[in-house]
A = this chain, B = another copy of it.
Amino acid sequence: MRTRLTEAFGIKHPVLCAPMALITGGRLAAAVSDAGGLGVVGGGYAGTLGGEPDLQQELVHVQGRKFGVGFITWALERAPHLLDQVLAHSPDCVFLSFGDARQFAPQIRRGGAKLICQVQSLSHVDQAIEAGADVIVAQGTEAGGHGARRSTMPFVPEVADYLARKSPATLLLAAGGIADGRGLAAALMLGADGVVVGTRFWASAEALTPTLVTDRAQHFTGDDTVRTTAIDALRGVPWPDEFSFRFINNKLASEWAHREAEAKAEFGSLAVAYADARSRQDFDVVAVVAGECIGLIHDRPNAATILDAMVKQAQALLDRGSRLDFTDGAA
């Protein structure tokens, strides 16, 4: 399966592993790259959150492979020295999301890495183009973790049309709600050059996700996730207003998810309680991060198995689609 993405990065499959904070360590990124995709290590909050894995240590695992590193842009602003440390490892790309990438773009280019900018609304695209993004990721609201309000299905073609007019050489990836070959094939039909996969790799053998968590999550459906700004406010993580957090609904979220304004007024009031709950692994309080496609995930295989199955299923669907005959029932 060849796309502009596979050509640009010299990879076999048009699939990136999302740089999930605290989840996509070097082992997962390496496994995805070894299997023919591109693994992007989660640089997350750039060490400013506390409790994050040591990025330098994680990068040891991807040595000698193609790989990328991703950051939460507004957090990287607080620890900008980290970018040079990362560029010293010669990543193939730096993946920035949630903020203005323009300030970091020249440094990334000088470091020889491609710039990937993830956007959550059409209004973000101009800034990404100005930054000189090689790749723009259109992330839908169904994604796990942080994101915003647009949905993948209409958002991807709208960004594709916009890029066709304004910056046709910029590649486009789809993120949010993609967990198998159906999602990959659908994203290609929508106009994407490839996909970014989070939750499916979150439940892979090589992810840093605690087993306790993925064991619990296998019984959930996509109905069980919630997106809200309230929990970040209560735990005192200073996310910009436009970005919200999707995770598996729990006791704390049932109480607060729809009271975003109130939670904002009580910024940080549960910071200590939340940290304490984390140490006790109290999932009535602590958010288990997952996207809506958690309902498509019922196991924790290794990343190569996931990627192989995804690509084979997409190929079979695309092959069948060309016959324009779906009368034996859908996939």
Chain A residues within 8 Å of B, Cβ to Cβ: 1-4, 6-7, 14, 121-123, 140-142, 150-155, 157-158, 160-161, 168, 172, 176-180, 182-183, 185-193, 221-223, 258-261, 291-293, 295-296, 314-315, 317-319, 321-322, 324-327, 329-331
A331 smallest CB distance to B (angstroms): 4
Q: Is the CB–CB distance between A153 and B3 below 8 Å?
A: no
- In angstroms, Cα B188 to Cα A168, docked, is 27
Evaluate contact between B151 and A326: CB separation under 8 angstroms: no
Whether A318 contacts B324 in the complex (CB less than 8 A), given A190-B186, A223-B150, comes out as yes
Q: Is A330 a contact of B177 with CB atoms below 8 Å?
A: no
Question: Of B1, B155, B222, B295, which is within 8 A of A222 by CB?
Answer: B155
Asked whether A222 and B122 contact (CB < 8 A) given A154-B177, A182-B157, A292-B151, the answer is: yes
- Chain B residues, Cβ within 8 Å of A293: 154, 158
Chain B min CB distance to A7 (Å):
6
CA distance A175 to B187 in the complex (A): 16
> What residues of B have a CB within 8 angstroms of the CB of A295 in the complex?
122, 154, 158
Question: Closest 7 interchain pairs by CB?
Answer: A322-B322, A153-B177, A154-B177, A318-B321, A186-B186, A142-B151, A185-B189
Structural contact, B317 and A189, CB atoms closer than 8 A: yes
CA distance A232 to B305 in the complex (A): 47
Residue of B nearest to A192 (CB): B330
- Report chain B residues within 8 Å CB of A4: 326-327, 329-330
Let me know if B180 and A157 touch, CB within 8 A: yes
